[in-house]
Amino acid sequence: MSGDHDKDLSGLRLGTASPATMTTDEAAAELASLAEAIAFHDQRYHGDDAPVVTDADYDALVARNGELEAVFPALVRSDSPSLRVGTPAADGFGKIRHARPMLSLNNGFTDEDIIDFGTRIRRFLSLGEDDELAFTAEPKIDGLSLSLRYEKGRLTQAATRGDGTEGEDVTANVRGVSAIPATLAGSPPDILEVRGELYMDRRDFIALNAAQKQADGKIFANPRNAAAGSLRQKDASVTASRNLQFFAYALGEVSTPLASTHADSLAALKSFGFSVNELSTRCTDSDALLAHYAKIGSQRADLGYDIDGVVYKVDRHDYQERLGQVARAPRWALAHKFPAEQAETVLNAIDIQVGRTGALTPVARLAPVTVGGVVVSNATLHNEDEIRRKDIRVGDRVVIQRAGDVIPQVVRVLTEMRQPDSAEFVFPDSCPECHAPAIRPEGEAVRRCTNALDCPAQRLEWLKHFVSRDAFDIEGLGARQIDQFVTLGWVSRPADIFRLAARRDDMVGLDGYGDISINNLLAAIEARRSIGFERVIFALGIRQIGQATARLLALHYETPDALMAATAPDADQDTSAAELVEIDQIGDSMVADFMGFFTREGNRDAVSDLFAQISIIPPERPADDSPVSGKTIVFTGTLTGMSRAEAKARAEGLGAKVSGSVSAKTNFLVAGADAGSKARKAAALGVTVLSEEEWLTMIGGN
Ligand code: IVH
């Protein structure tokens, strides 16, 4: 079971199955675990400056998330890591809203990823074979990003990235960093926002830790954490005393453009007094990018500062503009990461964890080993096929790897060192917690306990989900308290949480509870008696029903009574299900899970009990601010102004849904030159057909 103590296992479900072969159920379940794991590591990395996994591991999680979302776009969760950057600004510093969002970067790992990146961009921009497409390739500095605002050449504000929209105000501390100019040389534009990486040289990091040790101060795990910790000081003079460095590599708001290319912008920044990285090079094809990657990789150890890859950026700013961004990352840039670090250790045991939806997940317990500066003692084994495929056995010596900030994985077994008496691992066919049969449906990778909420492990995880951040989010009531209250028998279903006030006297005797904390907890629970419908539906923890789907369901049903009526055993369930499938982005298997949840008597009971305890706020409908928002658009024929991908991206950016085929649900067909059967079908269905020009006028993009 996963409790708070082993929360670093929260993302252990990093799958290896090819998304194309996965069921929607599996993908949804994996995306849910990924969201949880990535949020956990984001907090460790950005919030606490204390990562528990390597960057390479983290990147693997993010990459896996992207891979699944690409194949299952309907499953993109509203809490998806792809829609979010970093963590919210920490308390203690004021907040600054970035004039332009601070983006993150998509990652590539293989040569093929890099070649694809170039091909995708060429296609997006509809470039001909002879059109030049230049990139810059520069080291990816392992520090923390800052946005520095200069007005009339003077530093007025400095902010961390935060969640990408809002960061921490670190102006006072940054003023003490001598590597960051307080006033600019030359003639910079009136408003100039410079983005770059604050970092610490390895030599200074080692010296700082030695001094910290002497003074019994905090020891930093790596230069990145040392830089972040040095910046986030209450006392600005401490920051000033640390030798922090800064490389400028991008722009935010600028009143007058510096140049028409990234390379020239960097040169301008240099002339204003910033350090820009000397290894930044202009390349005109992927061979040159890969050669530069290899060159930087070979110099990595001698650079004096940590880098974790090479960043490729489209050089022309007008191209960058057109390429825009997807979710949290620009389409025009890619981080080519260095490979994961590996280590050998012994696999002592394989434990099976049971999740909220009954999934049995194998976890490798390892003899602790240091990989990339972090001690690893657990690794994911994904599922039973993975164990069989790699023939992983208890007692084996294994190679593990941490790539990015993700959960460690077992790469392979050193079979030549295997003990002669080792036995193949037998995956249990019953739940290790409640002993009910654990079934693996045909074609699925995951085996599940069949006991639903009668399984104590599933119930416990279900309750933890109920109080989690995106669900009821009750302050002072987290996984640890749920563990405690379940053990005491005070809580066995969600409604019990709202009856905890009756336990007030018993609580007084509990470890860690004083009058004030009890009052706070009970007040926080009271405050959640009134809550939005979509949160409630999400909190029910139904398989495949993530935040985005919960919202769609809340909009559909509007009231809890309507939901209960439509899912009642005596209701016409086929009609109710058919209505749900009609909702865009809700598929058959989601509906089956949703209806299935309510057909179990125990679940219905628990939900009715909960509904009686709380007051549900109906969902707000989104305002339509663009004429195409919420509309379904189909593009056909050849567009002259832009590629299909660019047209699609713009429409989606305005809240439209772009579909590949015309149906009665289509609102507009945008017909380019030589539009064929789709245009005829649209005409037959009475769908409005727009020319490319008419469409551009409509979206105000002419
Ligand atoms: S460009 C819009 N260039 O990597 C693009 N980022 O993983 C903004 N980073 O948030 C980023 N070196 O903190 C860029 N040469 C470089 C970089 C770099 C390090 C960091 C930066 C960014 C993160 C994304």
Look up 313 and say whether it is catalytic.
no
**659 or 267: which leads in pLDDT:** 267
**Token pair of 594, please?**
């949703």
Nearest CA to ligand 1 atom 8: 103
Q: What is the CATH number of domain 532-617?
A: 1.10.150.20
Tokens 């935010």 belong to: 252
Lowest model confidence (mean pLDDT) among 8-22, 52-66, 518-532, 568-582: 8-22
Nearest CA to ligand 1 atom 23: 104
Orientation of helix 601-613 relative to helix 560-567, angle to 10°: 170
Lowest model confidence (mean pLDDT) among 53-57, 179-183, 439-443: 53-57
Tokens 């080291």 belong to: 139
Q: Does residue 335 line the site of ligand 1, with CB under 6 A?
A: yes
Decide if 95-326 and 632-698 have a common fold: no
Nearest CA to ligand 1 atom 5: 103
Nearest to 639 by CA among 671, 683, 599: 671
Instruction: Assess whether pLDDT exceeds 50 at residue 40.
Output: yes
Measured CA to CA, the distance from residue 611 to residue 293 in angstroms comes to: 58
Q: Mean pLDDT over residues 79-104, rounded?
A: 75
Helix (H) or strand (E) run with residue 379 in it: strand 374-380
Task: Provide the whole-model pTM.
Answer: 0.56
**pLDDT tens across 613-660, in order?**
999 999 877 656 788 888 889 999 998 888 888 888 888 778 788 888
DSSP string, 478-489: SHHHHHHHHHTT
Is the separation of the CB atoms in 698 and 680 below 8 Å?
no
Indicate which atom in ligand 1 lies nearest the CA of residue 140.
12
Q: Does residue 354 line the site of ligand 1, with CB under 6 A?
A: no
Lowest model confidence (mean pLDDT) among 9-13, 256-260, 455-459, 682-686: 9-13
**pLDDT tens across 374-413, in order?**
778 999 898 999 999 999 999 999 999 976 556 789 999 9
**Token pair of 212, please?**
């910290």
Percent of the chain with pLDDT over 90: 62
Indicate which atom in ligand 1 lies nearest the CA of residue 142.
19
If you measure from the C-alpha of residue 22 to the centroid of ligand 1, how many angstroms do you get, rounded to a whole number?
A: 33
Indicate which atom in ligand 1 lies nearest the CA of residue 330.
2
Q: In sequence order, what are the residues at sequence separation of 6 or more whose Cβ sits closer than 8 angstroms to the Cβ of residue 27?
A: 19, 68, 71, 72, 75
Instruction: Assess whether pLDDT exceeds 50 at residue 13.
Output: no
Is the separation of the CB atoms in 371 and 384 below 8 Å?
no
Domain boundaries, given as residue ranges, for the chain: 4-84+340-439, 95-326, 532-617, 632-698
**pLDDT tens across 649-689, in order?**
888 778 788 888 888 889 999 999 888 889 889 989 999 99
Q: Does residue 413 line the site of ligand 1, with CB under 6 A?
A: no
Q: Mean pLDDT over residues 85-89, rounded?
A: 54
Local confidence band at 118 (pLDDT 50, 70, 90 cut-offs)? very high
Name the region of 38 (left: φ>0; alpha: ψ -120 to 50; beta: rest).
alpha
What's domain 95-326's architecture? 2-Layer Sandwich (3.30)
pLDDT value of position 702: 53
Local confidence band at 46 (pLDDT 50, 70, 90 cut-offs)? low
Nearest CA to ligand 1 atom 16: 140
If you measure from the C-alpha of residue 215 to the centroid of ligand 1, how many angstroms do you get, rounded to a whole number?
A: 34
Nearest CA to ligand 1 atom 2: 103
If you measure from the C-alpha of residue 337 to the centroid of ligand 1, how many angstroms do you get, rounded to a whole number?
A: 12
Q: Cα 568 from chain centroid?
A: 36
Cα–Cα–Cα angle for 269, 273, 278, rounded to 5 degrees: 65
Instruction: Assess whether pLDDT exceeds 80 at residue 51.
Output: no
Class of domain 632-698: alpha beta
Q: In sequence order, what are the residues at sequence separation of 6 or more whose Cβ sits closer than 8 angstroms to the Cβ of residue 685?
A: 662, 663, 664, 666
Instruction: Assess whether pLDDT exceeds 90 at residue 690.
Output: yes
Is the separation of the CB atoms in 384 and 485 below 8 Å?
no
Q: Does residue 57 line the site of ligand 1, with CB under 6 A?
A: no
**244 or 653: which leads in pLDDT:** 244
Instruction: Assess whether pLDDT exceeds 70 at residue 443.
Output: yes
Lowest model confidence (mean pLDDT) among 47-56, 210-219, 432-441, 494-503: 47-56
Instruction: Assess whether pLDDT exceeds 50 at residue 10.
Output: no
Q: Does residue 330 line the site of ligand 1, with CB under 6 A?
A: yes
Q: Does residue 140 line the site of ligand 1, with CB under 6 A?
A: yes
Nearest to 54 by CA among 8, 85, 104, 90: 8
Measured CA to CA, the distance from residue 78 to residue 548 in angstroms comes to: 5
pLDDT value of position 583: 78
Percentages of the chain per state (helix, strand, coil), in multiples of 5: 40, 20, 40
Measured CA to CA, the distance from residue 462 to residue 456 in angstroms comes to: 10
Q: Does residue 104 line the site of ligand 1, with CB under 6 A?
A: yes
SS3 of residue 35 by DSSP = helix
pLDDT value of position 22: 84
Indicate which atom in ligand 1 lies nearest the CA of residue 85.
10
Mean pLDDT value across the chain: 89
* DSSP-assigned beta bridge partners for residue 616: 531
Is the separation of the CB atoms in 10 and 465 below 8 Å?
no
Q: Does residue 167 line the site of ligand 1, with CB under 6 A?
A: no
Class of domain 4-84+340-439: mainly beta
Q: Does residue 248 line the site of ligand 1, with CB under 6 A?
A: no
If you measure from the C-alpha of residue 333 to the centroid of ligand 1, how many angstroms do you get, rounded to a whole number?
A: 9
Nearest to 432 by CA among 543, 350, 366: 350
Of the candidates 140, 313, 337, 648, the residue annotated as catalytic is 140
Helix (H) or strand (E) run with residue 369 in it: strand 360-371
The Cα-based distances of 52 to 210, 374, 511 in angstroms read 22, 6, 29
**pLDDT tens across 553-578, in order?**
998 999 999 999 999 988 888 888 88
Q: Does residue 162 line the site of ligand 1, with CB under 6 A?
A: no
The Cα-based distances of 574 to 333, 567, 593 in angstroms read 48, 10, 14
**Token pair of 425, please?**
């691992």
Max CA separation in the chain (angstroms): 81
Residue 673 is given by DSSP the state B
Is the separation of the CB atoms in 320 and 299 below 8 Å?
no
**pLDDT tens across 314-373, in order?**
999 999 999 998 878 999 999 999 988 889 999 999 999 999 999 999 999 999 998 866
pLDDT value of position 9: 42
Q: Which amino acid is at 17?
A: A
If you measure from the C-alpha of residue 118 to the centroid of ligand 1, how many angstroms do you get, rounded to a whole number?
A: 19
